Structure 1
Amino acid sequence: MPTSAPYPAPHEPLDPQFTVAEKYASVKNTNAGCHPGVLRGATVMNPPNFSLRNTRRRRSLVAAIVVVGVFAAVAVVAALRSGSLVNAGQREPSWHSAQPASLAPPVQPALPPLPEHFTRQPLAWKACSASKPKIRCATIDAPMDYFHPQAGTIKVTFSRFATSVAAKRRGVLLFNPGGPGIEGLGSPWYWSEKLTKDVLDQYDLIGFDPRGVGRSTPIRCGLIENEALPYAPYDPATFTQQAADAKSAAGKCATTGQTTGHISTRNTARDMDLIRVLLGEEKISYFGISYGTYLGAVYTQLYPGRSDRMMLDSNVDPARMGRGFYEGRAIGSARRFTHFTEWAAQRDATYHLGPTPAAVEHTFWGLVDRLKRAPLSIDGRRFTERHARSQMADLSARETDGADFLINLRKAVNGEKNNLYAPEDPGKDDAIASPWLTIMCNDTTTWPQGQQPYLDDLARLKKLYPISWDLETGINACGFWSLHTEPDLTVSNDVPALLLQNEWDLATPREPGDGMHRALRASRLVTVKGAPEHGAYSNGNSCATDIANKYLSTGILPPADVTCPPHSDQRK
C-alpha cells in the first residue's frame, strides 16, 4: 500500500447480514488503498471498505483484483403493472444510428414481453435490519434470461428508505456504489444522511444488490488460490502459470450453472427496470458511482424514455469497458506522473529531486534501474522496481505524497533509514472474484483471447506507458471466456445526465469522464480540477455538490460544462 494515509474505517454496518457496500459511502480522503503497490492488480472501479467480513483482508483483495419519476396516472400505472411499458416486444435501442452499416455491430433482438407473474408479483416489505428499521427490503423474482423469461428465475433484493414528505414526492432515486460485484442494499441508509433535504423530500431512496451479488442469487465459481485473483501484474517468470490459472477460472465459471452466463450489466439494468415497474413508477432517477456510472449509462441506452434525473460520478468510458478500462487507467497514470515531474521541478529547492521535469524523471528511473538489479527487503517482504512504479503512479496526483515517496525510495536504495512500505500479499476470495469476473467477462468480447494476444498487447503498452504498462493488464479469465450471450453494447444516446469527475482520480481518471461525456451527448460534465479523490460528490467540493444538489432537486443541468476549482482539503 502506498505511504499516504489509509482509508477510514467503514461506516457502521446495519448488521452482519446486511453488508454495506458503499465504497463511496465511507471514503473521504485518498485513493491510497486502491492500488497497494504491485499487488494493485485488477482493482474494482472503486476503493475498498465494503465488507463486514474480515475487513482488512477484503480491502486487500478488492485492491488486488478494484441512484423516479413523477407518479403516473392510473392508466399508466396499469400499463406499467401489466408490463406493457416494460418489454412490450420493443427493441431495446442499442447501437449508434450514425455508424456506417458495414461497421455497425449486430442489431440486438427485441425482448419478449414479461409474463405477469414477474410484472404483477407482490412486494413483501420487511425490515432489512433490526438496527435500521426505517429501511425496508423486498426480494423479487427476475428472469434469469430476459430473452427467455420462462427459462428460470433469480432472486433480486432491493431496499427502500421512503421520503417523509409525501406532498413533495417526485419518485424514486436508485443507487449503485460501484464494483462490479459490490452490494448496494445499504445505500439508502448512507445517502439519507448525506443528501440535502430538498433532495430527500422528493425521493424514496432505493438500493439493491445486483444480480450475482449479496442477497441477489450470489455467484460462486469455486475459485481457489490464484484463480481468485481476476488480475495479477504481468510477470514473465510466472506468465504461463498465470495463464493456466486464468483458463482454470474461466472453466470453473463456465461449469457453475446456467445462471452465470446471465450475470451482466445489461441484465442488471433490466432488473432495475423491473424494480421500476413493481414500484409503479414511470421513470427512475439514478445516482451511480464508478462502475455504477457504466450501469447507469447502460440503463439510459436500453430505456432512454424511462431515465429521469441521471447523475454519474467518477465515470467509466463505455467505449472502453473491459480491458480498455485498464489501459485508460494506464493513460491516467502516465499523465499524473508527467504532472508530478513538473510540480517537483518547480520545488527543487525543497525536495531536491531535479530542477527540470526531465531531471525528476531521471531521478525516478535511475532508482528503478537500481531496483531491477537489487530489489529491497522491507519488513521481510520483497520490494521490486514494479512496487516502485506502482506506488509512484498512485501517489503522483498527491504531489507532496509523491515527493515524500521518492525521497524515501532514494534513501532505501542508498541503504539509509526510510519509511517505505511493502504491500502485503493480496487476499483471494471467491465471493468477490466470481461476480467480478462474471460481469466483466460477460459484458464485452474486447479482451485478448489466449496467451499470445496478451503478450502482444503488453509489448504495445510497455512502449506507451512505461510507468504502469503491466500493473493491471495481465492475463485473466476473460481471455478464455465462453459464456457471452449477447453482442457487445454501444452506449450512444441523447439522454440528459450530470457527470461529476475529479481530474486526478486514480481509479477512474479524467479521460474516462470525457469518454462518458461523448457517449451521453446531452450530458453536462463537471470536472473538479486538481482533485485526486475517487468520488467528486462525497469529497465535498462545494462547486460540484451545489450543481449536483440543484440537478437532483430541480432537474436543471448547467447550460455548459463546468470546471470547479479545488478546495484546500483536496490539495493536502
Structure 2
Amino acid sequence: MRFRVWAVIAVLASAGVTGAPASAEPEAGLRWGPCPEEARATAAECAEVSVPLHYSDPGGARIPLTISRIAAAGPARGVLFGNPGGPGGDALGFWTQLNQRVPQLRAAQFDQVAVQPRGLRWSQPLDCSSPLDGLPLTFQLTCDSHHPGYARTITTENMARDLDQVRLALGVERVSFLGVSWGTYLGAVYATLFPQHTDKLVLDSNVDPDRRWAEQFAQIPAGVSRRLAEFTEWAATQDGSYGLGDTSAAVRDQWNRQVAAQGGGMDAPTLAATTFAAYSRNSWPYLAQGMREYRDDPSRTRFLDFLAKPALAAHATSGWTRDAVECNEDGRVDGLALLHSLATLGGTDPYVQQESLLRTGAACLGWPGTTVRIRVDGSALAVRPLLVQSHHDPATQASGAVALAAATGGTVLWVDGGDHAQFGRRNPTVDDTVLEYLRSGTVAHTTAPEPPLITPSPPAEVPAGR
C-alpha cells in the first residue's frame, strides 16, 4: 500500500474545471438490479449513471458510476445521499449496514442513495498496478500507463459534481446528505457548489476543510497514540478479566513488549489491531483479549487478526483513489522534512515515526498538485448543517468540527469519548438528534454522553461476518 501506512479506514482534477449544465432531464429508464455481491448491499438495488469524465468538457467522454438505492418503505420525503468516508471508501453498502445499526432510520422515509466514487471498483476503477508498486515516484506514471489522464480527475470537487449528476439522473430538485469522515468534506463541497440543490446536511466526524491532507493524515498517529493511553487505563480497570496489569503503565509495558516481539513495525499484529481499535471503544475488549491470548501463546492471534483484517482486506482501488485525491489536492512534498524523517526511522515510538513520515507528503513524490481545493462556504444554504463530533476522535480531530462548523454555519453535537463515526453506535441522544434533524431540520441537542460499550468483556469468540 504505497509508502503510507493505512490510517483508517481508512481512501488529477480536470484542467480548468467549470460547472456542469444548469439543468438536465432525468435519465430515461435507470436499470435497477442486484448490487455486486462484494458490496455488502443486500438490502439495496443498484444501477449505473453516466457522468462526464471532464467537467470542463461536459459533452465529451463519459464514465459509468454505480449507485445503490434503498427505496423508502412508503411515500418518500426526499432523497438522502450517503458516503462512508476515505477518500477511498466503498459506498454501495453504506445504507444496508447503517440501517442494521439504526433500524428507525427507515422510518425517516427517505430514498437512501449511495454513489460509488469514481476511481473505485464498480465506478470506472482506477488502475495503478505495477511491479514497482510502493515507490512514490512511479505512482503517477503507472496510473497513466493504464488510462492516460484519468487519475487527474480523481478529486473531491469532481466527485461532488458526480453527485449532482446522479441527482439529475434521479429527477429530484434537492437532496439531503449524510457523510462520515472524508465524506463530511465531500458533502460540504457539494453544498458549496450546489446550495440550491442541498436540503439537510449531516456531517459526522469532521475534516478540517482548510487543512492539507498530509497534515490531516499525519495527525492520525498521534490521535491513535492518545487513544492507546485511554485503552491502557481502561484495561487496567479490567485486570481481573485480562491480567494485563492493574495500572496503565503496566498495561502499556505489556503492549510495548508484544510489539517489540512482533518486530516493531506497523504490521505487528498488536500494533495493527490497536490502530483499528482506536476508532471504537467497542473494539477494546477484543484488543485486550487478543493481547492476553498472545501473551499466553504467541501463536494465538485470532482476536488481533480480526481487528487488523479490515485494513488488510481493503481493495487496491481504495488506496489508489485515496492517494490520487491527496496528491491532486496537495501535491507538495517537504524535502527537508522527508530527509529528516528517513534519517530517524527506527525510533522507539512507531506512531511518532508514522506521523513524521506522513507530514512530509512523501506519498506524492513526483506528482504535482493539479487542482485548487474548493473553499467551503455554507452561507447560501437554506438549512443549517448538523455536525456530530466526539471530543477525542483519533482520525478527525475536534478542531476539524470547529473549522467546518464555522465554514458551513452549522451546529455541532459534541459527544463525549473518542469514537470515530457517531451515528449508529446505539447512543440514543446522538441517533435521536440526527433523526429529528432529518425530519425537521432542527437540532435538539448539542451535547451527548459517550456511547455505551456493548461488547462482552471478556469476549468469548471472534464475531463472524465482517
TM-score, normalization by structure 2 = 0.75
The runs of 5 or more residues in structure 1 that have no matched partner are 1-34, 47-65, 67-107, 228-244, 377-381
Q: Does 1:202 align with 2:109?
A: yes
- CA deviation after TM superposition for structure 1 residue 480, in Å: 2.1
Q: Which amino acid in structure 1 is aligned with residue 9 of structure 2? A: M
Q: Does 1:141 align with 2:21?
A: no
Counting only pairs closer than 5 Å after superposition, residues 533-548 of structure 1 correspond to structure 2 as 534-548=420-434
Kindly indicate whether the alpha-carbon contact (under 8 Å) linking 1:531 and 1:571 is maintained by their aligned counterparts in 2.
no
Q: Which amino acid in structure 2 is aligned with residue 302 of structure 1? A: L
Counting only pairs closer than 5 Å after superposition, residues 108-507 of structure 1 correspond to structure 2 as 111-112=18-19, 114=21, 119-120=24-25, 122-129=27-34, 135-166=44-75, 169-190=76-97, 200=107, 202-224=109-131, 226-227=133-134, 245-255=135-145, 256-340=147-231, 342-343=233-234, 353=245, 359-360=249-250, 363=253, 367=257, 376=261, 382-384=262-264, 387=268, 391=273, 395=277, 419=300, 430-445=316-331, 447-448=332-333, 452-456=336-340, 466=349, 468-471=351-354, 473=357, 476-482=362-368, 484-494=369-379, 495=381, 496-503=384-391, 505=393, 507=395
Any idea what the Cα deviations from partners look like across 1:471-523, whole Å, max 9, x if unmatched? 364575423214x4321333354552222334555554555445544443323
Seen in structure 2, the aligned counterparts of structure 1 residues 196 and 321 have a Cα distance that, compared at 3 Å, is farther
- CA deviation after TM superposition for structure 1 residue 417, in Å: 6.8
2:126 match: secondary structure:
coil
Kindly indicate whether the alpha-carbon contact (under 8 Å) linking 2:90 and 2:318 is maintained by their aligned counterparts in 1.
no
1:123 match: secondary structure:
coil
- CA deviation after TM superposition for structure 1 residue 566, in Å: 3.0
User: Partner residue of 1:241?
Assistant: none
Kindly indicate whether the alpha-carbon contact (under 8 Å) linking 1:179 and 1:291 is maintained by their aligned counterparts in 2.
yes
User: Partner residue of 2:460?
Assistant: none
1:524 match: secondary structure:
strand
Q: Does 1:45 align with 2:26?
A: no
Kindly indicate whether the alpha-carbon contact (under 8 Å) linking 2:222 and 2:352 is maintained by their aligned counterparts in 1.
no
Any idea what the Cα deviations from partners look like across 1:114-155, whole Å, max 9, x if unmatched? 287xx2362322232189999554433322222332442222
Kindly indicate whether the alpha-carbon contact (under 8 Å) linking 1:525 and 1:562 is maintained by their aligned counterparts in 2.
yes
Cα distance in 2 between the residues matched to 1:385 and 1:313 = 31
Seen in structure 2, the aligned counterparts of structure 1 residues 563 and 198 have a Cα distance that, compared at 3 Å, is closer
- CA deviation after TM superposition for structure 1 residue 540, in Å: 1.5
- CA deviation after TM superposition for structure 1 residue 254, in Å: 3.9
- CA deviation after TM superposition for structure 1 residue 336, in Å: 1.9
Kindly indicate whether the alpha-carbon contact (under 8 Å) linking 1:250 and 1:477 is maintained by their aligned counterparts in 2.
no
Cα distance in 2 between the residues matched to 1:40 and 1:485 = 21
Kindly indicate whether the alpha-carbon contact (under 8 Å) linking 1:320 and 1:328 is maintained by their aligned counterparts in 2.
no
Any idea what the Cα deviations from partners look like across 1:411-438, whole Å, max 9, x if unmatched? 58xxx87856687995796433332322
Q: Which amino acid in structure 1 is aligned with residue 48 of structure 2? A: T
Cα distance in 2 between the residues matched to 1:254 and 1:344 = 49
Cα distance in 2 between the residues matched to 1:501 and 1:146 = 33
- CA deviation after TM superposition for structure 1 residue 293, in Å: 1.9
User: Partner residue of 1:51?
Assistant: none
Kindly indicate whether the alpha-carbon contact (under 8 Å) linking 1:276 and 1:284 is maintained by their aligned counterparts in 2.
yes
User: Partner residue of 1:92?
Assistant: none
Cα distance in 2 between the residues matched to 1:221 and 1:203 = 37
Seen in structure 2, the aligned counterparts of structure 1 residues 385 and 207 have a Cα distance that, compared at 3 Å, is closer
Q: Which amino acid in structure 1 is aligned with residue 140 of structure 2? A: A
- CA deviation after TM superposition for structure 1 residue 267, in Å: 0.5
Cα distance in 2 between the residues matched to 1:516 and 1:570 = 32
Kindly indicate whether the alpha-carbon contact (under 8 Å) linking 1:333 and 1:467 is maintained by their aligned counterparts in 2.
no
- CA deviation after TM superposition for structure 1 residue 171, in Å: 1.6
Structure 1 vs Structure 2: percent identity of aligned residues? 25
User: Partner residue of 1:95?
Assistant: none
Any idea what the Cα deviations from partners look like across 1:90-126, whole Å, max 9, x if unmatched? xxxxxxxxxxxxxxxxxx978355287xx23623222
- CA deviation after TM superposition for structure 1 residue 260, in Å: 2.0
Q: Which amino acid in structure 2 is aligned with residue 383 of structure 1? A: G
- CA deviation after TM superposition for structure 1 residue 225, in Å: 6.1
Seen in structure 2, the aligned counterparts of structure 1 residues 146 and 395 have a Cα distance that, compared at 3 Å, is closer
Cα distance in 2 between the residues matched to 1:417 and 1:135 = 42
- CA deviation after TM superposition for structure 1 residue 217, in Å: 1.8
Seen in structure 2, the aligned counterparts of structure 1 residues 571 and 320 have a Cα distance that, compared at 3 Å, is farther
Q: Which amino acid in structure 2 is aligned with residue 454 of structure 1? A: L
Pick aligned residue for 1:523 from 387, 405, 411: 411
2:352 match: secondary structure:
coil
1:318 match: secondary structure:
coil
1:442 match: secondary structure:
helix
Cα distance in 1 between the residues matched to 2:65 and 2:377 = 28
Q: Which amino acid in structure 2 is aligned with residue 470 of structure 1? A: Q
TM-score, normalization by structure 1 = 0.63
- CA deviation after TM superposition for structure 1 residue 333, in Å: 1.9
Kindly indicate whether the alpha-carbon contact (under 8 Å) linking 2:329 and 2:370 is maintained by their aligned counterparts in 1.
no
Q: Which amino acid in structure 2 is aligned with residue 157 of structure 1? A: T
Kindly indicate whether the alpha-carbon contact (under 8 Å) linking 1:265 and 1:439 is maintained by their aligned counterparts in 2.
yes
- CA deviation after TM superposition for structure 1 residue 288, in Å: 1.5
User: Partner residue of 2:462?
Assistant: none
Q: Which amino acid in structure 2 is aligned with residue 530 of structure 1? A: G
1:314 match: secondary structure:
strand
- CA deviation after TM superposition for structure 1 residue 266, in Å: 0.8
User: Partner residue of 2:463?
Assistant: none
Any idea what the Cα deviations from partners look like across 1:43-85, whole Å, max 9, x if unmatched? 4434xxxxxxxxxxxxxxxxxxx6xxxxxxxxxxxxxxxxxxx
The runs of 5 or more residues in structure 2 that have no matched partner are 458-466
2:51 match: secondary structure:
strand
Any idea what the Cα deviations from partners look like across 1:294-337, whole Å, max 9, x if unmatched? 21122122223332111122333333352122222123123223
